[in-house]
Amino acid sequence: MTLTRHRLAEEFLATTDWKNGIARPLAGDASNRKYERVTAEGLPTAVLMDAPPEAGEDVGPFLTIAQHLSSLGLSAPTIYAQDVTHGFLLIEDLGDGLFAHVLDHTPDIEDALYRAAVDALIVAQNARPPKVQHYDVTAMTTTAMLAVDWYLPHGTGRATPEVLRQDYESLVRGMLSRLMLGDPVLVQRDYHAENLLWLPNREGPARVGLLDFQDAMLGHPAYDLASLLKDARRDVAPEVQREMLQYFIDQTGADAAVFSGAYAACSAQRNLRILGVFTRLCVRDGKPDYPDLIPRVWRNLVEDLQHPSLTELRDFVLTNVPAPEPTVLARIKAAQNG
């Protein structure tokens, strides 16, 4: 936090009940946002979100989605105080029980946690959504281009030929147009084990604490489920993936064949996008640890591409996009100095 941001944060906290509190840094994420846990005598701990507008951050969407999810009885953080102009929020501290951390210590409850996460997802999707932008075929195709704009050139050390780029775009757009059918729902877009908190003292879907949903849009119901089960940062047991996919289908009454195709398409698009995002975070933003996550993303992608509806895209990817072998990852990491 710069001196200016630190002063603004102090001025903001001074307007709250936590004005005499002590702030300590919390782990951040891949964005420009920073977080501090604030403790004050006689008050519950709170979290200070610092989202600098000058870095392109906006707390408005977080406020909108948090209030919407809370109105459904879900466990988004309560907003204690806000300064939208300067990009500060003081929010409820939901604790440290991230799914990823809980399951590191108690892997035997994986099924229970993921089932609760699916239940919370269904509650969010069944409600009338707030007014947000659409994550439709065009938007998803655009973000999937990150794979050929970042991962492919930096992984191979060569510029991506324009004709190859156009072929890829056509294949992705065609896949999504064929398979992403139906009415859109609210998709939180980062619904996975490092953004979900286990709150066992609460009831039902409220046992799942929700974070990092400010980029929510209207999209296909399969998207967040794919984000949850084909996690870029954690290996979800194959049997849990199968059971939760079937559980979602059973609970929502979706057509199994149609939904499985949409699920594979959403997951493939997401994993292609993440290949590019993780490469960009390393090369452009100087975060060298992200390429270490790429092999898992690639494995998820290859699994997605086994679906019969994705044959053309599978053939293209396996022919033209390099697997993340050590030499490929080393090339990406070296590019951050270029």
- Residue range 298-317, pLDDT digits in tens: 999 999 999 999 999 999 99
Average pLDDT of the chain is 95
The arithmetic mean of pLDDT across residues 78-83, rounded, is 97
Look at residue 32 in the predicted model and tell me its pLDDT: 81
> Are the CB atoms for 51 and 88 separated by under 8 Å?
yes
State whether 137 and 36 are in the same domain.
Answer: no
State which of 70, 92, 114 marks the end of a domain: 92
Model pLDDT for residues 148-176, shown as the tens digit of each residue: 999 999 999 999 999 999 999 999 999 99
State whether 85 and 112 are in the same domain.
Answer: no
pTM confidence score: 0.93
State which of 92, 115, 150 marks the end of a domain: 92
State which H helix or E strand residue 91 sits in. Answer: strand 88-92
State which of 27, 61, 92 marks the end of a domain: 92
Dihedrals phi, psi of 28, to nearest 5 degrees: -95, -165
State whether 104 and 87 are in the same domain.
Answer: no
Given a cut of 80, is residue 3 above it in pLDDT? no
CA atoms within 13 A on the CB side of 76: 22
Domain of 20, CATH number, reads 3.30.200.20
Proportion of the chain above pLDDT 70, given as a percent: 97
Give CA torsion, residues 245, 246, 248, 252, to 10 deg. 140
Label residue 27 by pLDDT band (50, 70, 90).
confident
Given a cut of 80, is residue 271 above it in pLDDT? yes
C-alpha 244/C-alpha 284 separation (Å) is: 36
Look at residue 207 in the predicted model and tell me its pLDDT: 98
C-alpha 112/C-alpha 76 separation (Å) is: 20
State whether 238 and 300 are in the same domain.
Answer: yes
State whether 136 and 240 are in the same domain.
Answer: yes
State whether 59 and 136 are in the same domain.
Answer: no
Dihedrals phi, psi of 48, to nearest 5 degrees: -95, 120
State whether 112 and 220 are in the same domain.
Answer: yes
Given a cut of 60, is residue 255 above it in pLDDT? yes
Look at residue 33 in the predicted model and tell me its pLDDT: 87
Domain span at residue 66 reads 3-92
Given a cut of 70, is residue 1 above it in pLDDT? no
State whether 265 and 300 are in the same domain.
Answer: yes
The arithmetic mean of pLDDT across residues 46-72, rounded, is 95
C-alpha 118/C-alpha 338 separation (Å) is: 43
State whether 104 and 78 are in the same domain.
Answer: no
Supply the Cα-derived Rg of the chain in whole angstroms. Answer: 20
Given a cut of 60, is residue 253 above it in pLDDT? yes
Helix residue ranges per DSSP H, the chain:
3-13, 60-71, 99-105, 110-126, 137-144, 146, 152-156, 162-179, 222-229, 238-252, 256-283, 294-304, 311-320, 326-335
Given a cut of 60, is residue 30 above it in pLDDT? no
Domain of 291, CATH number, reads 3.90.1200.10
Look at residue 338 in the predicted model and tell me its pLDDT: 60
State whether 272 and 236 are in the same domain.
Answer: yes
Which residues are within 8 A (CB) of 103 and not within 5 positions of it... i.e. 6 or more apart? 109, 110, 113, 193, 234
Q: Burial, 155: exposed, middle or buried (Cβ in 10 Å; 0-12, 13-18, 19+)? A: buried
C-alpha 129/C-alpha 270 separation (Å) is: 22
State whether 278 and 214 are in the same domain.
Answer: yes
Given a cut of 80, is residue 86 above it in pLDDT? yes
Nearest CA to 193 out of 135, 251, 260, 110 is that of: 110
Nearest CA to 66 out of 186, 221, 204 is that of: 186
Look at residue 2 in the predicted model and tell me its pLDDT: 67
Look at residue 336 in the predicted model and tell me its pLDDT: 83
State whether 81 and 108 are in the same domain.
Answer: no
For the chain, what is the domain count? Answer: 2
